[in-house]
Amino acid sequence: MSPEPPDDEHLLETVRDDPTSVEVDAIVKLLDHDMGTFRNIGLMALSTIAMEEPDRVVEHSDEVIDHLDDEFPVAQSTALQVLSRLGSEYPEAVRPAIPRLVELLDQMPPLTGYRAGRAIAPLLEHYPEDFVQHVDELLAIASDPPDDGVPTQADLDEMDPDIREKVMDQLSSRGDEVEHDVQRVYGIREMTLHTLVEVSDVEPEALVGRLTELRPSFETEPPIVRGAATDVVANVAKHDSSAVEPVVEDLIEIATTDMRAARVHAIQALGFAEAPEAIEPLREVAESDDEAVSPEVSDLATETADFIDAQH
């Protein structure tokens, strides 16, 4: 193998065709280049190799982590992609990046925050306690979820016709990227709440007195985020049922009006909360002919209402 990378413009093509044909140490030299575009090429090459052979890249994880502060935003985003590919096999190598990954979780453009979430995901299984100290940042994202920047129909209707036309042209010019950004923002919201679920599991006390900060996440899309938000409440309720009183009405709203999966999570949380005010609404859910109330949801609502009633 050559100790030097090929001409920079051909590096990525070479690595994609045959990752073993280029020495990783030679690629890493590009990470110190003065030009951000070349640093990004080096990181993209490392990302390609890490996808199939993370063992060849892991010894350079510290250098990759350094580029989470790269002044060239594209290189920063690519560094996140490299770490997301290393984390599954070598979580200990990515662990030092946790504080910076949380900082980047709601960064725009959505691709950056989404990649930060992808890098966080494998670390939660191994180091959930490391995220407890980041509750403030995670709740800040949960209370003010990132926006995908796509105006609603109501937003468009309120715009001046000329401005609306320009906005529509801009959205049209972005093509599929608009939908990709929507899905990435959903991914950021989901990972934020999933991280809070893990935090509330290992340190529920960290969320006591702060559950009202989840309210925006009780209403946001996609439904899995609402379900995860109620799981945070459930974990706190297991620790201290009285601590969830401020959000019981929120849980009842989800349990009685939301989609099937979100309802299940909310009903379970109400059971852990042992909230007597939920008894009658849950019995109404059990008897409802709403299509979101499957036989399983109906049974769960009945069992939960009976359980709460027995506690009081």
pLDDT tens-digit profile of 282-312? 999 999 988 888 999 999 999 999 999 998 8
Q: Which residue has the higher pLDDT, 165 or 130?
A: 130
Positions of E strands within 60-150: none
Provide mean pLDDT across the span 39-67.
95
> Which residues are paired to 22 by β-bridges?
2
Residue 232 within a domain: yes
Provide mean pLDDT across the span 62-89.
97
Residue 10 within a domain: yes
Backbone phi, then psi, for 112, in 5-degree steps?
Answer: -65, -50
134 and 82, same structural domain?
no
> Which residues are paired to 2 by β-bridges?
22
| Tokens 């009903």, located at residue | 267
119 and 103, same structural domain?
yes
Give the pLDDT confidence score for residue 148 in this predicted structure.
66
Give the pLDDT confidence score for residue 143 in this predicted structure.
85
**57-63 contacts, C-beta under 8 A, 24 or more apart:** 57/24, 57/82, 57/85, 57/86, 58/86, 58/89, 58/90, 58/93, 60/24, 60/28, 61/86, 61/90, 61/93, 61/94, 62/96, 63/28, 63/31
121 and 3, same structural domain?
yes
Residue 168 within a domain: no
> Can you give the residue range of the structural domain that contains 273?
129-144+189-312
Q: Which residue has the higher pLDDT, 95 or 293?
A: 95
67 and 202, same structural domain?
no
260 and 140, same structural domain?
yes
291 and 209, same structural domain?
yes
Q: What is the DSSP letter of 175?
A: T
Give the pLDDT confidence score for residue 1 in this predicted structure.
41
212 and 95, same structural domain?
no
Backbone phi, then psi, for 2, in 5-degree steps?
Answer: -70, 140
Residue 169 within a domain: no
136 and 116, same structural domain?
no
Residue 242 within a domain: yes
Residue 220 within a domain: yes
Give the pLDDT confidence score for residue 6 in this predicted structure.
46
Number of domains within the chain: 2
- Determine the Cα–Cα distance for residues 98 and 162; give it in Å rounded to an integer: 45
118 and 27, same structural domain?
yes
Give the pLDDT confidence score for residue 2 in this predicted structure.
40
196 and 57, same structural domain?
no
For residue 224, give the CATH number of its domain.
1.25.10.10
Residue 160 within a domain: no
Type and span of the H or E element at 284: helix 279-287
98 and 56, same structural domain?
yes
Residue 150 within a domain: no
136 and 105, same structural domain?
no
**Helix or strand or coil: residue 22?**
strand
